Amino acid sequence: MNTHPLAGIYTAAITPLNEDTTPDLDAIPKYLSFLAKRGCHGALLLGTTGEGPSFSTNERVDIFRAALKVREENPGFRLLAGTGTPSLTETIQLTQTAFDLGYEGVVVLPPYYYHQAMTDGLFIWFQEVLNLAVPRDGYLFGYHFPAQSKVPLTLELLTKLKESFPDQFAGIKDSTGDPKFSVTLGGRFGNDLVVLTGNDALLSHALNNQASGCITAMGNLFSPDLRVVWDAYQQGNAAPDAQGRLNDQRVILSKYPPFAASIKGILPHFHDLPRWPVRPPLLPFPEDQIQFAVEDLKRI
């Protein structure tokens, strides 16, 4: 069992938008409150599912500020900010702002334009962010999503960061979807590295390999089962029924990428929520495809 203060179940939250694709600042805290009531310990703002790279620095800060209102009804709800950009300066500014606002942690993509960046260069980049933007009581998670960023966070890099910043560098969001990597991380770091899996189907497996929880897109739809698996694990038990549903749902949802668009289309069919638009270059998911997805998901 990992007792890190940020261990738990997080949703990689979608970002509610107005029809002109500007952020719907009033809807954001209401949506986060919806997630809180469905068992989430917290949420990641402006990750991949939240369309983070599509927003300017000023828009991101506006979204971070709007999200704080969720704590008026849910004071214990944890907020993680997606702050990684290819610009070191911008990443530092966004990270500083998130902590100044009271966010518990940040999830930081590596600089994803230079795919051939060396480990030493990436270490210096993260070192600058940690030294200049992360307070002593703040936590930074690397965002390990090589299929999307094309810049992996290697074991060598993770080791150097953890040794140099044992507290501030908390761990990673692991979005590889690779069960063998979960085993490798657990064997290499144990509980010292806070690993939050990005794949719902791997939650039980990851927890059994010393992970600390999850940050998932599917949490927007089915977070209660994620919480059932988490709570059972805290008591030394398994929750095979809940994990089985998550496995089946993930198989279905994986047929409908990108999640930012498909989840926004699916949500209104399961919950009393509007169908929020996505920002270009993403397009609204075709309604016929949404219907197929909804029918399959409702069979589980």
Active-site residue identified among 37, 89, 113, 184? 113
Pick from 223, 198, 222, 220: which is nearest to 39 by CA? 223
CA distance 129 to 257: 31
- For 235-257, b/e burial (b = at least 16 CB within 10 A) is eeeebeebbebbbebbebbeebe
The reply to whether 21 belongs to the active site is no
The reply to whether 113 belongs to the active site is yes
Q: Compute φ and ψ for 280, nearest 5 degrees.
A: -55, 145
The reply to whether 48 belongs to the active site is yes
The reply to whether 150 belongs to the active site is no
Active-site residue identified among 143, 216, 256, 264? 143
CA distance 143 to 283: 25
- Cβ count near 94 (within 10 Å): 25
Host H or E run for residue 216: strand 213-216
Helix (H, G, I), strand (E, B) or coil at 171: strand
Active-site residue identified among 15, 48, 95, 216? 48
Q: Which residues are catalytic?
A: 48, 113, 143, 173
